[in-house]
A and B are shown apart, each in its own frame.
Chain A
Amino acid sequence: MNWLDTIFQGILLGGLYALFAAGLSLVFGIMRLVNLAHGDLIVCAAFLILQLVSALQINPFIAALIAAPVMFGIGWVLQYHLLNRTLGKDILPPLLVTFGLSIVIQNGLLESFSADSRRISAGTLESASLGIGVLSAGVMPLLTFASAILVVVALNQLIYRTALGRAFRATSDDVATAGLMGIRPNRIFATATGLAMVVVTIAALYLGTRATFDPTAGPARLIYAFEAVIIGGLGSLWGTLAGGVILGVAQTLGAAINPEWQILAGHVAFLLVLLVRPRGLFPRAVD
């Protein structure tokens, strides 16, 4: 039963990675932008929630509700005024600007909050657990996984059922033609990044309540998110969820064999998928 439990915990961990990855996947799908500062933005959101929790003495879930629109605004402004300027045929400017941004955010957080590890307290929820048959799971990991599914469903509904989603898809297919049809691509891009930041806030809530984080935790989160996206295949949010789950299972299995191999096992799984299926397991987009 030990292995079954390990795999189950890995699946639940995959929910967290899928949350990290969903925002990255969304932004890439719509504007072909890979935001190297994605992980640092997650950590930034975690600090925002932490500040709200300690300043207002509120529940972290309510703090995340307040943080989400703030992060949406930050994402919108960031995309509209900075990242939109870098979009174009050349892939160098967006990569280098977001890389610079990543360093700026990391060191800004380091100056503001010191290098100490932090944790957002979720009260009794932290230690609560449920028994499911022979397996038992913490309430927080279950909530994380449920949130990941919810986020994927909601984003898919938005993309395929609403006017905004239609604008997203049109801009993604052909910016110039979408522009001719009365869509303002710059605003669409800004909205998409804002939306991605809302997902980032949800990811940050679970990052902060489940484990400790510090200002330099961002790059590792970016790498996990990236691996989940590539394993799952570009352009499919369900694929991203599956990618997160595979990564999570690989990590917990690695850790079960030797605690030092947790991260390594995840990377190896990623490289194996790259070897066998370079376009990921469930590819949709043609990039």
Chain B
Amino acid sequence: MVANREASPPTTAAGASGSRWRVETRTTLSTAFGIVAIAAMLLLALTPFFASRGVVQDLFFILTMLVLAQNWNLLAGYAGLISVGQQLFVGCGAYALFSFVILLGLDPLLAVLLSGVFAALVSVPTAFFAFRLHGPYFAIGTWVIAEVGRLLFAQWKALGGGTGTSLPRDATRDMIGIGFLKETLGLKSAAAVDALTFWVALILLAATMGTMYRLLRSRNGLGLAAVRDNEVAARALGVDAMRMKATVYVVTAFLTGITGALTYLQKARISPEAAFSLTDWTAYIIFIVVIGGIGTIEGPIVGVIVFFLMQNALSSYGSWYLLLMGALAIVTMLFAPRGLWGLASDRTGIELFPVRRILKRGPNHQGTKGGPHG
């Protein structure tokens, strides 16, 4: 759980020895992997040109689940805010999208972005209530608020009340960019919508991972890790714990809301039960993060792949599948609390997204005993 323990280098050693010691935040491997990752993203962006619609839809699902997982990971694994109510922001984003498109006639792509803003706005009063509760009570508190959201949206008769509603067909077909895609690539409307939502999901994932990686390597990221590991000590050192947590809460709400809106743009059918589903938007996400490795950037990537493979392999077994996921998460938490990636990383020392600052000795090697003056 303690990924950033070696956060600050001992100042005496660094100060006394000057250039012989340096703080390393990236390795050759991580730089190489960064290039590979960008190349993989670009390659992935080409999928709609050669793959079938089914493959593109599967990839879209994986990408959106990964965005949700990274957001929950940032909340729980780094900010120590264990929320069981992230379905609130998925649902709010999705309902905002439907209301912008159906009631106001906005372009769906623009509406997706605005839906994220709406989710972020919802998160402010939510935080006001939820932050009065701590630890496990925060968890159930967020869940209660998500339930309130579900019940309130079920009252909104213009969007179908408890039974929900569908997006009008032409709304997505007239979306910005669809006409262009149809003309230049000769795609059919449905395929063009799939391709466009897929690309937006890809951009969203890149933005999420980029934001997260930069945040965790920054001064604020150190503050965040310090707050998670020992809030009292961090505050004594001048970290504004409440502000850090609130910022992370609102940012993840924004990204989660966008993901919810995008997911329901692709589904084109909404109901309060589905959009505010604890199982779909929180249980699965928690299992992905826990099995992959909470508190690591790599973990959720591993987790989402395991999740997708298991879902395909066990889809015909109904609820046994969820039962197995739950059991796997329990076993992981008990015996490998840092998940599959933690296991692999501990054995090999590989970190693809290093966020730790590691104190390394410079080129001028001395004996093995002690430091320069030791």
Contacts and interface: CB of A to CB of B under 8 A. Distances in A.
Binding between chains A and B = yes
Interface of A: 33-34, 36, 82, 85-86, 90-97, 99-104, 106-108, 110-111, 219, 222-223, 226-227, 230, 260, 263-264, 267-268, 270-271, 274-275, 278, 287
A100 to B, nearest CB: 4
A92 B294 contact: yes
Interface residues of B, number: 43
Contacts of A94: 136
Given A94-B136, A223-B144, A264-B148, A274 B325 contact: no
A106 B325 CA distance: 12
Given A100-B327, A103-B283, A219 B144 contact: no
Given A92-B1, A99-B286, A100-B330, A107 B320 contact: yes
Given A107-B323, A230-B133, A263-B151, 20 more contacts: A34-B136, A36-B84, A86-B333, A91-B82, A91-B135, A92-B76, A93-B337, A95-B82, A96-B333, A97-B333, A99-B84, A99-B329, A100-B290, A100-B329, A102-B326, A222-B140, A223-B140, A226-B144, A264-B148, A267-B144
Interface of B: 1, 76, 82, 84, 129, 132-137, 139-141, 143-145, 147-148, 151-152, 154-155, 278-279, 283, 286-287, 290, 294, 318-320, 322-323, 325-327, 329-330, 333-334, 337
20 contacts: A34-B136, A34-B140, A85-B334, A86-B333, A92-B76, A92-B294, A92-B333, A95-B136, A96-B82, A97-B333, A99-B329, A100-B287, A100-B329, A102-B326, A103-B325, A227-B144, A263-B147, A264-B151, A274-B132, A274-B141
Given A107-B320, A111-B323, A264-B152, A99 B283 contact: yes
Contacts of B325: 103
B139 A34 contact: yes
Q: Which applies to chain B's interface (DSSP): helix, strand, loop or mixed?
A: helix
Nearest to B317: A111
Nearest to B148: A267
A141 to B, nearest CB: 25
A100 B84 CA distance: 12
Given A110-B319, A111-B323, A275 B129 contact: yes
Nearest to B282: A99
Contacts of A106: 322
A271 B129 CA distance: 7
A226 B337 CA distance: 27
Contacts of B139: 34, 36, 95
A226 B139 CA distance: 11
Given A97-B334, A223-B144, A267-B151, A278 B329 contact: no
Nearest to A230: B137
